Amino acid sequence: MHNATIRAGGLSLIVGAIAFMAVFSYLAASFHYPDVLDGSAATVLPALLATGINGRAVWALYAFLPLLFVPAGIGAFQALRQHGEGSMRAATHFASIAAVSMMAGLMRWPSVHWELARAYAGAAPEQRPLFDAVFLGLNRYLGNYIGEFLGEFTLSLFFLLSAMAMLRAGQRWIGSLGVLTAVLGMIGMFRNVTDLVAPAAEVNNYLLPLWMIVFGVRLLRRS
């Protein structure tokens, strides 16, 4: 049973990394994501609606992908608990918090933002400033604070605690990669506050899926 749990966690990390990259690439090509996030309702909402039903489906898939961190956290706990049971229990909780908060942040696109886009298309000119205020407010609350700050911070804590357990287990290069990924993630989550962290965020965009795949393979071998 333990081996199956660990295996499920490893597969979740690998599948999640590949799926994240695929969805991100699709949205970058069809929606100019993530640069489009800096725009106003007048530019972003029509562009969102123009992606059609396929775009909405991809956003929905993207929103549910973070839930893969739940089995990943459970699998990591089973695999690494002997190298720090207390810290790995905390890591499992952080993985679950990250999953829910990141999902909440992403889910605004195929749900609230989608309905805003439909209403915006038929709104009178004097009504559109209100749409812009609602759109920006949702981005700040669900996107920046919940999805990015809370989600990315707790995800980085999950990775950091798991990587430290690996270091204690003698897995030096894998553990070091995990620590680096976690630290860069904690720095990069401030990218909407200051441009000074942009290089760290850019590196982390490439390092994160690599670490997830390496971490996933490590769990599969442990099972």
Q: What angle do CA 107, 144, 149 make, to 5 degrees?
A: 105
- Give the pLDDT of residue 89: 97
- Give the range with max mean pLDDT: 49-58, 66-75, 116-125, 127-136: 66-75
What's the pTM value of the predicted model, to 2 decimals?
0.93
* Structural Rg of the chain based on CA atoms: 19
Residue in the block written with tokens 């002997």: 82
Residue 209: cis peptide before it, omega within 30 degrees of 0 = no
Q: Tell me, what DSSP letter sits at residue 67? A: G
d(CA 8, CA 187): 30
Interatomic CA distance for residues 44 and 7, integer angstroms: 40
pLDDT in tens, 114-125: 999 999 998 898
Residue 109 has pLDDT above 90, yes or no: yes
Task: Place 193 in a pLDDT band, splitting at 50, 70 and 90.
Answer: confident
Q: Nearest-CA neighbor of 4 among 75, 70, 69, 67?
A: 75
Q: Tell me, what amino acid is at 54?
A: N
Give residue 33's pLDDT: 82
- The whole-chain average pLDDT of the chain stands at 93
* 128-184: pLDDT as tens digits: 899 999 999 999 999 999 999 999 999 999 999 999 999 999 999 999 999 999 999
Question: Average pLDDT, stretch 173-202?
Answer: 93
